Amino acid sequence: MSFDPKPLRWIELDLPHPDGGGRLVTLRTDGPFALRSWYFAPESDVKMELHLDRRTPEGGLTGCLHCGHAELYTRKKFNKTLGFAIVGVAALLVLVFENYWSLVAAAVIDLVLFSIARDEVVCYSCSAVHRGFGVSPRHPSFDRTIEERLKFGERAVMGEPMREGGTANAPDPEH
């Protein structure tokens, strides 16, 4: 019996349900290489194929596992409602105590929560969310020009052409 010192790294995928309606299909496995190439959507006979060729040997992503699109972006998995609630309570405390220390405390709490939040990688095309995959290659933060190109096509004002190889190891946007 051998001991593997590396703990299991759980991965999670939130994929758009094939029936639409904003529903998600959540898949959880004990690592990026434990995924099967297809799953049946819950409450449906639809077979959902995964693009497992978009995984790197290190467990990272070169594209979306759901639709295969090469352009992804990284964001924090941060509960925005909690962030707004913290600031809202701090704003109310400003009225009660007539000083601004509660706003400073709220900023510090928000910063700490944001810094410990995990990263998740999102597909520009289908909005599938990938959590727990390897960090290499790194995908930049959200870029409005990519979103506009995909949304409006030739009519995009700022849309830039797709990068060779997608967003893998691309620099962060300048804006």
For residue 54, the model assigns a pLDDT of 95
In order of 51, 94, 98, the CA distances from 26 in angstroms are 16, 41, 46
pTM above 0.85, yes or no: no
Report pLDDT digits (tens) over 71-108.
999 999 988 898 889 888 988 988 888 888 888 888 89
Q: Is the pLDDT of residue 12 over 60?
A: yes
Q: Three-state DSSP class for 83?
A: helix
The residues, ordered by sequence, that sit 6+ positions from 77 with a Cβ below 8 Å of its Cβ are: 117, 118, 119, 120, 131
Q: Is the pLDDT of residue 174 over 80?
A: no
Q: Which of 77-81, 131-135, 148-152, 162-166 has the lowest mean pLDDT?
A: 162-166
The residues, ordered by sequence, that sit 6+ positions from 17 with a Cβ below 8 Å of its Cβ are: 23, 24, 25, 41, 42, 44
pLDDT averaged over the chain? 85
The pLDDT of 148-171, averaged and rounded, is 74
For residue 131, the model assigns a pLDDT of 94
For residue 67, the model assigns a pLDDT of 94
Q: What share of the chain is helix, strand, coil (3-state, %, to 5)?
A: 30, 20, 55
* % residues pLDDT > 70 (the chain): 89
Report pLDDT digits (tens) over 113-137.
988 999 999 999 999 999 999 888 9
